[in-house]
């Protein structure tokens, strides 16, 4: 009896095809299977679907074969050229279906894909959290593009995590993704560079880490404060200024350079900050750099 109930539930769920079985593609397919959705999978390189097949997935020989059996198609491949190749290969089978492109692509690529989607509805998706979060509320995925398609498949997409539609512009989800990755990777680079500078000065990573742990605690209020200043285009220098930031960056870059470290990123940040000071923003808050970057 439990198997019969499970089978009945599965039949009532929307069938989904997942194209691309890298780590994220497998996580998406696994979450759909766990939620009871009939799931068909395809991957260019064979052999990555064994664990999913054991969970009840069906394997397809081609993207078109996978799309043919599902009204909802999730595409998660390496990059835009790979996504475009799969979309073109499965074009006939995609007619009348909703395609969710969860490939990490540039905003303009998402817009170009939407222009090409004449026979199917397209949603662009930006997965903001790691594979381990997919299928739980901790997983966060943004969608942009066709609002009717999102509304129709919202319940199915909620099997993947916390979902939100952020606008009709097809490139908007990818723009959120790019901005947040910009923050993430520059932050990671900063920490790696700090570890290198500490090592060059005879400080171990274990010694530095407890003090580095305190820095993220400063970020939440700063993130909200800078966001308000950027939106209002008002950047008071009441707490820190562009001039003081330039002095601090120059000090760090000099110290790193004397130890033979690569300072390309620090030099770029310093050059931007000095340019802002020369343009008259020296007394303004550091958030005013956004005005120079978008001028």
Domains and CATH numbers, the chain: 2-168 (3.40.50.720), 176-293 (1.10.1040.10)
pLDDT band at residue 6, thresholds of 50, 70 and 90? very low
What average pLDDT does this structure show over 121-147? 97
Residue 2: predicted pLDDT: 36
- Proportion of the chain above pLDDT 70, given as a percent: 96
Tokens linked to 34: 């766990």
Q: Please list the residues that pair with 124 across neighbouring strands.
A: 101, 144
The values of phi and psi at residue 139, to 5°, are -75, 130
Query: Tokens 């009945």 identify what position?
Result: 8
Residue 174: predicted pLDDT: 98
Tens-place pLDDT, residues 227-284:
999 999 999 998 889 999 999 999 999 999 999 999 999 999 999 999 999 999 999 9
pLDDT at 5 over 50: no
pLDDT at 61 over 80: yes
Q: Is 126 helix (H, G, I), strand (E, B) or coil?
A: strand
Residue 138: predicted pLDDT: 97
Residue 295: predicted pLDDT: 83
The helix (run of H) or strand (run of E) holding residue 17 is strand 16-19
Q: Is the pTM of this model over 0.85?
A: yes
- CA–CA distance, 48 with 26 (Å, rounded to integer): 8
Determine the straight-line distance between the first and last CA of the chain, rounded to whole angstroms: 66
What average pLDDT does this structure show over 53-67? 97
Give CA separation, 279 vs 109, 206, 222, 266, in Å.
35, 41, 24, 20
Tokens linked to 75: 């595409």
Q: Please list the residues that pair with 42 across neighbouring strands.
A: 19
Residue 118: predicted pLDDT: 85
Angle, helix 205-212 to helix 172-200, in steps of 10 degrees: 130
Residue 293: predicted pLDDT: 95
Tens-place pLDDT, residues 185-213:
999 999 999 999 999 999 999 999 999 99
Residue 224: predicted pLDDT: 96
Cβ atoms of 69 and 46 closer than 8 Å: no
Tokens linked to 24: 């994220």
Residue 74: predicted pLDDT: 98
- CA–CA distance, 61 with 29 (Å, rounded to integer): 16
């Amino acid at each position: 009896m439990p198997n019969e109930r499970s089978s009945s539930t599965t039949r009532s769920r929307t069938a989904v095809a997942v194209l691309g079985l890298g780590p994220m593609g497998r996580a998406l397919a696994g979450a759909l299977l766990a939620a009871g959705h009939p799931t068909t999978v395809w991957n260019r390189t064979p052999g990555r679907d064994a664990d999913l097949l054991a969970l009840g997935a069906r394997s397809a020989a081609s993207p078109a074969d996978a799309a043919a059996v599902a009204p909802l198609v999730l595409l998660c491949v390496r990059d835009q050229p790979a996504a475009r190749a799969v979309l073109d290969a499965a074009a006939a089978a995609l007619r009348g279906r909703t395609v969710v492109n969860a490939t990490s692509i540039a905003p303009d690529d998402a817009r170009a894909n939407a222009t090409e989607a004449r026979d199917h509805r397209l949603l662009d998706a930006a997965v903001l959290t790691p594979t381990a979060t997919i299928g739980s509320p901790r997983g966060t995925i943004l969608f942009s593009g066709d609002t009717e398609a999102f509304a129709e498949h919202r319940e199915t997409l909620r099997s993947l995590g916390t979902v939100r539609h952020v606008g009709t512009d097809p490139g908007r989800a990818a723009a959120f993704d790019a901005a947040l990755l910009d923050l993430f990777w520059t932050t990671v680079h900063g920490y790696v560079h700090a570890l290198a500078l500490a090592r060059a000065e005879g400080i171990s990573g274990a010694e530095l880490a407890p003090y580095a742990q305190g820095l993220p605690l400063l970020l939440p209020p700063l993130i909200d404060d800078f966001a308000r200043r950027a939106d209002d285009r008002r950047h008071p220098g009441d707490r820190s200024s562009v001039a003081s930031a330039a002095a601090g960056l120059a000090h760090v870059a000099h110290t790193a350079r004397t130890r033979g470290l690569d300072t390309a990123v620090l030099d770029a940040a310093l050059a931007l900050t000095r340019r802002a000071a020369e343009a008259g923003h020296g007394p303004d808050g550091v958030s005013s750099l956004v005005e120079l970057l978008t001028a």
